[in-house]
Amino acid sequence: MTTARPSAAAFASTGDMQAKTVSFDEIGKGLYAYTAEGDPNSGIIIGDDGCMVVDAQATPLMAEDVIARVRSVTDKPIRYVLLTHYHAVRVLGAAAYEGATIIASTGTRNLIVERGEQDKASEIGRFPRLFRGEGSIPAGLTWPHVTFDKSMSVWLGRREVKLMHLGRGHTAGDIVAYVPDENTVFSGDLVEYHSACYCGDGHFKDWQKTLDAVEMLGARALVPGRGAALAKPAQVGEAIALTRDFLTRLYGAAERAVAKGATLKEAMAMVREAMDTRFASFAIYEHCLPFNVSRAYDEARGIEHPVIWTAERDREMWAALQG
């Protein structure tokens, strides 16, 4: 039995205009999580001589609130901004962090080259509330100053921050930040907590393996891409398990649909049958579902490289599956 839903859902998140309550929680010594009820999270790592912000927010205007929260707990300069992946809601606020070095994976930079412009237009069209102050975004795209392939360490005085590309998942370029002295992970959208995973640019089979690598870190605390900060090991385990279950149900249903020769529309119904009861209450579930089904259906049919989303493709797909 599937969960009842509106017959004419507003496109993506265009109907979600209610402001969210921001929380700013200390999850370890000098470690903070900036969260907002399922909106994209940011993380703050404070060292001896400066700070790192993990994910910049969608616009410079929105990033100013992150900066204000940082200033409420330290006067040390923000020396680094880490981009966990390339999506516009994470990166376009980077211009607010004047003088900071922007770091990303080589894979993320490659994706910006390949699809950054299309992604920018696509996401702004989907999330009007999340691009508050769109006019503050400088022309062009956000580019990292420093990239790495697999891993690198950034030292904030005596505090080490290990940056690791553990494998493909939410995108081909995801990275996590690990702070050994507090055994804490900032996972980006590889892990979510009571929020739907967005899988439109994902790699389902690799994502499960990458979650294995995140789990092997044995983190005491974790800041997910969306959802509340997780300050206890049991919560970390729950978040990873929820993410696994979400991906398993979604991709499993898509694989079954492809094996039966089902159409994409029929695959959507099969995914709902597998997921609605468990996940329909999660943040951005309805928004993500058509994008998720489209990508899962493609991967199950052997399409390895995610098809680029454009504002036009978004609308056409939504009308076919969710309109």
Strand partners of residue 222: 185, 230
- pLDDT at residue number 188: 98
Contact status, residue 203 vs residue 168, Cβ threshold 8 Å: yes
Tokens (6 digits) for 170: 């939410």
**pTM confidence score:** 0.96
3-class secondary structure for 51-85? EEEECCCCCHHHHHHHHHHHHCCCCCCEEEEECCC
pLDDT above 90 for 179 = yes
312 in a domain, yes or no? yes
Contact status, residue 126 vs residue 200, Cβ threshold 8 Å: no
14 in a domain, yes or no? no
- Amino acid sitting at position 73: V
302 in a domain, yes or no? yes
Separation between Cα atoms, residue 253 and residue 128, nearest integer Å: 31
Q: What integer is the mean pLDDT of 141-150?
A: 98
- pLDDT at residue number 168: 98
Burial zone of 139 (CB within 10 Å; 0-12 exposed, 13-18 middle, 19+ buried)? exposed
* Residues making up the chain, counted from first to last: 323
Q: What integer is the mean pLDDT of 245-258?
A: 98
DSSP symbol at 105: E
60 in a domain, yes or no? yes
- pLDDT at residue number 120: 97
Q: What integer is the mean pLDDT of 118-123?
A: 97
Separation between Cα atoms, residue 144 and residue 17, nearest integer Å: 31
Separation between Cα atoms, residue 17 and residue 220, nearest integer Å: 35
Strand partners of residue 224: 188
Q: Where are the alpha helices (DSSP H) in the chain?
A: 60-71, 88-91, 106-126, 204-216, 233-259, 264-279, 285-300, 311-321
103 in a domain, yes or no? yes
Closest CA to 175 of 214, 137, 133: 214
- pLDDT at residue number 63: 98
Into how many domains does the chain fold?
1
Q: CATH number for the domain including 281?
A: 3.60.15.10
Rg, the chain, Cα only = 19
Place of tokens 């929260």: 69
Assign 211 a pLDDT band (cuts: 50, 70, 90).
Answer: very high
What sign does the CA torsion over 184, 187, 188, 189 have?
Answer: negative
Closest CA to 203 of 165, 237, 230, 257: 165
9 in a domain, yes or no? no
- pLDDT at residue number 8: 59
- Amino acid sitting at position 78: I
233 in a domain, yes or no? yes
CB atoms within 10 A of CB 35: 24
pLDDT digits (tens, 9 = 90+) for 91-120: 999 999 999 999 999 999 999 999 999 999
CB atoms within 10 A of CB 21: 8
- Amino acid sitting at position 4: A
CB atoms within 10 A of CB 192: 26
Mean pLDDT estimate for the chain: 96
Q: What integer is the mean pLDDT of 62-91?
A: 98
- pLDDT at residue number 6: 43
- pLDDT at residue number 9: 79
Which residue segment(s) compose the domain that 234 sits in? 23-321
32 in a domain, yes or no? yes
